[in-house]
Amino acid sequence: MVLDQEPGSTLDPITSNEDFYVYSCCGGADPDPATWSLEILDRDVSMGRIDVAWLADHEALEFEHTLQCIGSGPRNLAISNAIFGGMRLTDVFAELGVTVDPSIVQLYLVGEDDYDAGMPAADIEKAWLVWEMNGVPLPVEHGFPARLLIPGRYGVKNVKWVRTLALHSEAVVDYWTERSWDADAPYKVNGFILAPVFGAEAAVGSSVAFVGVAYAGEDPVTSVEITFDGFQTTSPCQLDYAPGANRWVQWSFEWTPQEAGTVTAQLRVRTAGGAVSSENPNGTEPLAGYDGGMAVDIVVG
């Protein structure tokens, strides 16, 4: 996602399938569509199965959604945005006759690669079963035949190649929680500078185009500020694309340096809910998701 931007240029709001970030912790999978199925369990009792034919018989409703890796940060810009197609999980349940008992506390997912993830049962109301991406079937690396998308949760909870969806009355400790990563993985407010890159050179009196993205999941980003003096002063960035919750903001800023030297540019991001990114450019909680405003050094000569 590191781009070489010219003044006045913009980013594409929708990431192509080829450029969308890919991360799989457990080796990945390539399910055979002829034999793949998703089983829905309620406290170990099978409530039904979904196969590729079932998906083909249902219209995929499209929605735009940004996905970000919980391990993303200034050195790993793993965040992308696409138009996904699928069905709300509540509608899937309704069609299959699945009701969620009040005793259910966890939605638990397992993929074909045996990766598992658990989240609060309340997430059933906002989860999507997805089988299309940017108008085509999900590419294998993004979860074909189907995956779950959970708005408000880092990618760690959005299981690909899903084969089991279980409702539990007692929570199971999942793969990354067992390894000390945040158990619920809610998105944190954060911002990235995509260009210029760290250590880029600029000339006194010449315009430098800054571009980047900011995100906070379900809490819409409302402003991005940039500072060149350690937050003694800040300037508002232009929000070029700000469609609302669950989608990234794309921002830009034109800067003309007035004197030579190394200058650190850093972001501050704010949301509708009042969240503000940390002034630590590396973030504050490495195992809970990036919550910083990224910084880059510019060498002005």
Q: Give backbone dihedrals phi and psi of 223, rounded to 5 degrees, phi first.
A: -155, 150
CB within 8 A of 195, min separation 6: which ones?
A: 2, 3, 4, 5, 209, 210, 211, 212
Which residue blocks in the chain are alpha helix, DSSP H?
52-56, 89-96, 175-178
Instruction: Give the per-residue pLDDT at 1.
Output: 44
Instruction: Give the per-residue pLDDT at 10.
Output: 60
pLDDT digits (tens, 9 = 90+) for 28-67: 999 999 999 999 999 999 999 999 999 999 999 999 999 9
Q: Residue holding tokens 């911002």?
A: 191
pLDDT digits (tens, 9 = 90+) for 248-258: 999 999 999 99
Instruction: Give the per-residue pLDDT at 94.
Output: 97
Q: Residue holding tokens 């919550």?
A: 291
Query: What SS3 state is found at 175?
Result: helix
- In the chain, helix, strand, coil percent, each to 5? 10, 40, 50
Entry pTM = 0.94
Each residue's pLDDT, cut to its tens digit, for the chain (301 residues) gives 434 334 444 689 999 999 999 999 888 999 999 999 999 999 999 999 999 999 999 999 999 999 999 999 999 999 999 999 999 999 999 999 999 999 999 999 999 999 999 999 999 999 999 999 999 999 999 999 999 999 999 999 999 999 999 999 999 999 999 999 999 999 999 999 999 999 999 999 999 999 999 999 999 999 999 999 999 999 999 999 999 999 999 999 999 999 999 999 999 999 999 999 999 999 999 999 999 999 999 999 9
Give me the numbers of helices (H) and strands (E) for the chain, helices first please. Answer: 3, 19
Reference 217, options 267, 153, 142; nearest CA is: 153
**CA–CA gap between residue 286 and residue 71 (Å, rounded):** 7
Instruction: Give the per-residue pLDDT at 11.
Output: 81
Question: Cα 9 from chain centroid?
Answer: 24
Instruction: Give the per-residue pLDDT at 186.
Output: 98
Domains and their CATH numbers in the chain? 37-178 (3.90.420.10), 190-300 (2.60.40.650)
Q: Give backbone dihedrals phi and psi of 24, rounded to 5 degrees, phi first.
A: -140, 125
Relative to beta strand 208-215, strand 249-255 is antiparallel
Relative to beta strand 128-133, strand 147-149 is antiparallel
**CA–CA gap between residue 200 and residue 212 (Å, rounded):** 15
